Amino acid sequence: MMRLALATFAFLAACGGTNTGGLGPCEQGIPDPACGLPCTVDANCPSGFHCGPDQTCTAECEQGGAGCGPGQSCDSSGHCFDDTSGTDGNECPSVTVSPMPRIPTVQLLIDQSGSMTASFGGTDRWNAVKQALIGNQGVITTLQDQVVFGASLYTYAQGSDPVCPRITKTPMRALNNGTAITQLLNGNGPASDTPTGESIRKVIEDFQQNPPAASSVPVILLATDGEPDRCADPDAHDAQSRQLSVDAAAAAYAAGIRTVVLSVGSDTGEDHLQAVANAGAGMPPATGTAPFYTANNPAELSAALSSIITGILSCEFDLSGQVDVNRADEGSVDLSGGSCSAAGTLDFGSEWEMVDNNTIRVLGGACDALKTGNCTLQATFACGTIIL
């Protein structure tokens, strides 16, 4: 089971910093020998000093407090900070900054055409999709608490459907939406034609009418088993129908929505899958190299869906407070948990970084561990690095 644990960030001994220092060790008649040493980060400087903007070691104050103004204290790197601890001025209060994992929003757009009844490795395409999504180990079953899921089925039966495309969907996109998606898939089955381009545009409209959370990345996951047709000609699997799909994926990207393409079976030309994937990733349709996925049996289908969804999961975390990014390297970020494959302290720069002053990004194998293991993430920052 793949599960990204909700991270816990404890920012200890952190408080609002200032730069109002006075006669620090580098401003006295005989400066401390550490003053002026070359540096690129604070770690290059001795205790009590930090790396200044001119890339030399400096300090605004001394550990005893000399150099700071009234109501201030000096931290371990020679920064003055406003001391509101109510103690003797040598401590500062703990501040906890709550993390918000960036939860992706995925709208499944599932081909409901009649060809989904075709044989597919001991079952048919429709039931293979259902099993890969809502089976005991399906991606919705295992990841619905980490991804905002919604689902839309699309088809069109000329002469009986009043509108084209016919879209049947869950009432909403939500975390833990597995029950609604299960009811949708169990209550419907393969029907008629494949107006893919027009159906993508319907999902764009739905995202615009019901936008995801501000920090969530919206994604359309298109699962189709054949060449597209179009509402004006439901039997035309031609260049015009293909172009409608490519243009719709490009329109989704322009609206801030990525489109990922999965072919259920090999009836759809790879050149078309590549073009739609490229357009859906903001690349030139004819020359881009965006990934697309093809599955020819249930095992490949489950693996492809798992790869797609875990790839969409984010290793970025929003903080309710702000970190001084110039001092982020003073922080310590740790992974823990009984089944966490990358437990331990992460290296700044190679395994974690600050995206901006309120976003942490975990990198490489540590990111993989967060996606696939039961890991807890904790970050501790030195006093003065949190901007309240």
Dump pLDDT digits (tens) for 59-98: 888 766 577 777 677 777 777 766 554 444 444 444 444 4
Please tell me which residue, 43 or 7, carries the higher pLDDT value. Answer: 43
CA distance 219 to 173: 12
Residue 267 lies in a domain: yes
Domain count, the chain: 1
106 pairs with which residues across the strands? Answer: 149, 219
Residue 45 lies in a domain: no
| Of 93-97, 142-146, 258-262, minimum mean pLDDT range | 93-97
Please tell me which residue, 335 or 290, carries the higher pLDDT value. Answer: 290
**CB–CB of 345/300 below 8 Å?**
no
Helix (H) or strand (E) holding 247: helix 239-254
Q: What is the pLDDT of residue 8?
A: 43
**What CATH number does residue 165 fall under?**
3.40.50.410
Is residue 160 scored above 50 in pLDDT?
A: yes
Residue 307 lies in a domain: yes
Residue 174 lies in a domain: yes
Q: What is the pLDDT of residue 144?
A: 92
| Of 4-18, 24-38, 50-64, minimum mean pLDDT range | 4-18
Quick: pLDDT tens for 215-256: 788 999 999 999 999 999 998 889 999 999 999 999 999 999
Domain span at residue 303 reads 103-312
Residue 123 lies in a domain: yes
Question: DSSP letters of 79-131?
Answer: -EEE--SSSSSS--------EEE---EEEEEEE--GGGGSEETTEEHHHHHHH
Q: What is the pLDDT of residue 127?
A: 96
Residue 23 lies in a domain: no
At residue 383 the predicted structure's pLDDT band, cuts being 50, 70 and 90, is low
**CB–CB of 242/255 below 8 Å?**
no
DSSP state of 46: P
Computed over its alpha carbons, how large is the radius of gyration of the chain? 27
Residue in 175, 316, 201, 301 with CA at minimum distance from that of residue 259: 201
Residue 129 lies in a domain: yes
The type of residue at 344 is: G
Is residue 269 scored above 60 in pLDDT?
A: yes
Q: Could you tell me the pTM of the whole model?
A: 0.71
Residue 67 lies in a domain: no
